[in-house]
Structure 1
């Protein structure tokens, strides 16, 4: 096989995300109020001794990594309480889960830590967290971390010497705050941004007064608590629900662990409302009545009158910052937005040199399509989050982002979450392979496991259809051998009042293409016709493993080559695939195949079709080492 090389980044590296288990939340009790002190801050909080080292004079890159590891634990434990008070802009109850998964996934997918090059290590860690960001508050938290990481890198030498003193930490928080505010198209007071600004301002004032690192970080945390307690006075939705902003509370959790990292002490204050104990990630919420206060303590968790959901029990989108200005507009915006779109975009080198201008224009145009717009990142790599009214508008968001760069990791989810009534229409697909299944689920499909040699039976199909919880189900078999069993399953579920339409997609490539045009809001028959058209318009190539050893290459239903391994037949498959008029290629690699093969296929296809968008999915079915679909 002629070697084909390519050094372009795989634009869709899908990994299965671990789902943490549900955790209980200790009952919350009310304590007395906090009196204000000079500069509007509460009295110095008594500190709870911990097992952590004593106060540090400087925060190094290694310290920053330790802080993020602790933030992950804190957010995991606080997630149920944060989810329970998620009411703005959409009461879907998954802010805590999204913030936890942002940090957790970022840490798990980051490059290995290199103590000899902490510059690259902390930068890579921050970038991984940004690319793992979920939901509005997750994106903003990731932007805050990325902004702070840039300042940490500036203050640290390659061997982790140096680091940040009190003034350096103040600069880091200021950079992080500026990055977060710039990422949001229409910043809103009473959200995570308010706490970020208060923390940055307090850090600057403490540093200007000559405060050491421990003094700066304590004042930062104290100010963040006060700002959090005031969020109900800034957002009517929070005041009505008697809760604080969930995203802002998540940031307070992160800052609490920054105090622990820098001082070796776990902060407590008189008059705090704790969920759980300080040792297990309890969340402090001071009562700080201010001008215009309702006089009632804002609550989190069980006292908020909402059952908390554990991490991984997402009820929809993240609740955080919105782009509305009046109570009436908030109500109409909440009812208008039904879908969350999150994606990553990579700018070309030329555009990256003027990224600020490009991204500013992108934010403005996205704000015309929806609300809760966040575009966060740096250089070439950016993460986009927006709430939109319907599936066609979600498609316009993706198309708009494709005009400025390469798009990857697109996720469209309903904002209705668990609060929605029984679904009317569901999409069910048959597939296997961890990576491919994750892609299909992310796109909104339910998945029944099936593959050559282990195809789903009629009973399994019936169970999968009924498990969708919908009255109408559209099914994509992606396998010619599964069409007839599916038709029989349709007859059986009809006896239980469920309408099932079998779309005769006979390849997995056709399934992937069809899922991309799935519109959950469309009429079932109309959706089925659209899926049929998309699946039928795909040019398919495949390398299939033979039971007795060896592989066979096919294009459509035609065999084009046989050989001992993928290298023997893949060039013939690619050469036979038509690329004229093709705009998008999807390459699915089998679970055990070297990712370098995907890069080689991508390079080969781009050489044949200039401007072709290529998406590579790792972790496909073992029976097919390589699947290629052209649209």
Structure 2
């Protein structure tokens, strides 16, 4: 039974994100495998997936926020597309992910402006979509310092051109864009010789085809529209076997012998500073893409001097979420052949000290950066990196429950046996790792680790950022909050004294071992004072101290 067409509204944007994420999840390995340009580092599919996952998460957050204001409250189109574009911008990974973020931003500019002014008329989704796709291409070319044809840019251009000449409603225009992108994708090996030699189409363009197919499906009202109605476009090998069109045969752009590092960061800066930054980075390296606007930018460049690229960002404004990847090391790790081990543990941790502690215990570690929770794709990558037939996943954060569950489900679909232990704190993860024995049967090991984690009560000491109501009363900005098992139980003025109160409350219910994990800037004197406090009031209780290095929680406490 055919699906009813869906109007171009906030629900369609949410469905688009979800369908695109699903499509990229299914195509990720194939896209990674054909990634030969601009660097053959085999991660384009993964980068695109993580970029769209960030966009989808931002759109879901807008819907969730409206749900708390009352039944029936929903975001408008403008709010949804802005969230999508912002999420993609802050979560963009790699060269293709950064360009995709700019394509989405260009579309959002048109869709949000039209929706905000009320200029969109019923049945005029087709015109709006044509304008949005045209603007997407313009903005993408603006963001790329040295555009190369035969890449995702060519595929995006063909999609917009096909939309321009197609009559009909919104779903028809979206379907035409998808089919135009498919045809352009098959021609990319004739436009870029490095693709032709490898016998593959452009990896970023392949990812964009999946995203546009998801758009067509969302507007048609169901995933069935993701398939084109026209005859399938010829694949790369078909084009090469039949000969490239006379006008094709683009430049031989070498791949794999370029700069050593990929540098990506978010940047808060004004337009004038970004213009200077573009010129400076263009002289330093290649594959330069600077996207964004309104004071927030995503900067991507390949360079030999990673420090100079970051320094340029510091001179321009405030760079953060800096990621530096060494291409040689990344490629070596991806191509090295390992015999899978039987069992591994993947642990998510928020600080350098905790990461070192878990790694020393044999875990594959996912490090949480301040203010940047990991996406499910990062956890899946860690499971793959562990290269084991059986994996125990420790999220160590209550807020990562759904993310970890999604990662576990995807890893299971890839044939890995995964057990998710819902650890809510790093101290529960430490307790689980302490009893882990890979020689046991998998189920027995999981039960033992789950039991150890569940027997560990946890607390955190954090500093309040603003005045607010809590279960312990009203707190003021700067107060120290003691959270026991996730709920505010104590409000104090000073870290050590508040921690003593928290410890007394936790130990009142019994305990044999106290674990103290110190935050990044907490002096050892605090740990010494708390150890004396435990010895003075609880003689049978042992205390162990770790320098965790985490930023959000000044102190993490575990009681077993």
For 1:11-50, what aligned pairs fall within 5 Å after superposition? none
Are the equivalent residues in 1 in contact too, given 2:54–2:88 (CA < 8 A)? Answer: yes
Whole-angstrom distance in 2 between the partners of 1:181 and 1:385: 14
| CA-CA distance at 1:289 after TM superposition | 7.0
- Corresponding residue to 1:150 among 103, 109, 115: 109
Name the SS of the counterpart of 1:618 in structure 2.
coil
TM-score by length of 1: 0.52
> Structure 1: 5+ residue runs without aligned partners?
1-48, 273-283, 298-324, 424-431, 441-445, 451-455, 470-541, 564-587, 591-616, 625-631
- Equivalent position of 1:342 in the other structure: 264
- Equivalent position of 2:484 in the other structure: none
> Structure 2: 5+ residue runs without aligned partners?
67-73, 245-249, 338-346, 366-384, 388-493, 506-515, 531-547
- Equivalent position of 2:180 in the other structure: 223
For 1:395-406, what aligned pairs fall within 5 Å after superposition? 395-406=307-318
- Equivalent position of 1:419 in the other structure: 332
- Equivalent position of 1:99 in the other structure: 48
For 1:370-385, what aligned pairs fall within 5 Å after superposition? 370-385=285-300
1:622 counterpart = 2:535: no
For 1:517-556, what aligned pairs fall within 5 Å after superposition? 545=499, 548-549=503-504
| CA-CA distance at 1:621 after TM superposition | 5.9
Q: Give per-residue Cα distances to partners, 1:364-392, cap 9 Å, x unaligned.
A: 21111111111111211110111112xxx
Whole-angstrom distance in 1 between the partners of 2:528 and 2:364: 39
1:436 counterpart = 2:343: no
| CA-CA distance at 1:201 after TM superposition | 1.8
- Corresponding residue to 1:199 among 142, 152, 159: 159
1:250 counterpart = 2:207: yes
- Corresponding residue to 1:407 among 306, 319, 327: 319
1:449 counterpart = 2:449: no
Whole-angstrom distance in 1 between the partners of 2:144 and 2:266: 16
1:85 counterpart = 2:34: yes
Greater fraction helix: 2
- Equivalent position of 1:29 in the other structure: none
Whole-angstrom distance in 2 between the partners of 1:80 and 1:620: 40
Are the equivalent residues in 2 in contact too, given 1:199–1:223 (CA < 8 A)? Answer: yes
- Equivalent position of 1:583 in the other structure: none
CA shift in 2, pair 1:158/1:397, >3 Å:
same
- Equivalent position of 2:254 in the other structure: 330
Q: Give per-residue Cα distances to partners, 1:128-182, cap 9 Å, x unaligned.
A: 1210011111111111112112222223259998575211101100111111111
| CA-CA distance at 1:337 after TM superposition | 1.5
Are the equivalent residues in 1 in contact too, given 2:179–2:228 (CA < 8 A)? Answer: no
| CA-CA distance at 1:218 after TM superposition | 2.5
| CA-CA distance at 1:226 after TM superposition | 1.2
- Equivalent position of 1:135 in the other structure: 94
CA shift in 2, pair 1:620/1:562, >3 Å:
closer
Whole-angstrom distance in 1 between the partners of 2:175 and 2:237: 18
Whole-angstrom distance in 2 between the partners of 1:620 and 1:394: 31
Whole-angstrom distance in 2 between the partners of 1:161 and 1:62: 16
- Number of aligned residue pairs: 375
TM-score by length of 2: 0.58
Q: State the superposition RMSD in angstroms.
A: 4.2
Whole-angstrom distance in 2 between the partners of 1:158 and 1:288: 48
Name the SS of the counterpart of 1:343 in structure 2.
strand
CA shift in 2, pair 1:165/1:106, >3 Å:
closer
| CA-CA distance at 1:184 after TM superposition | 0.9
Are the equivalent residues in 2 in contact too, given 1:139–1:374 (CA < 8 A)? Answer: yes
CA shift in 2, pair 1:462/1:99, >3 Å:
closer
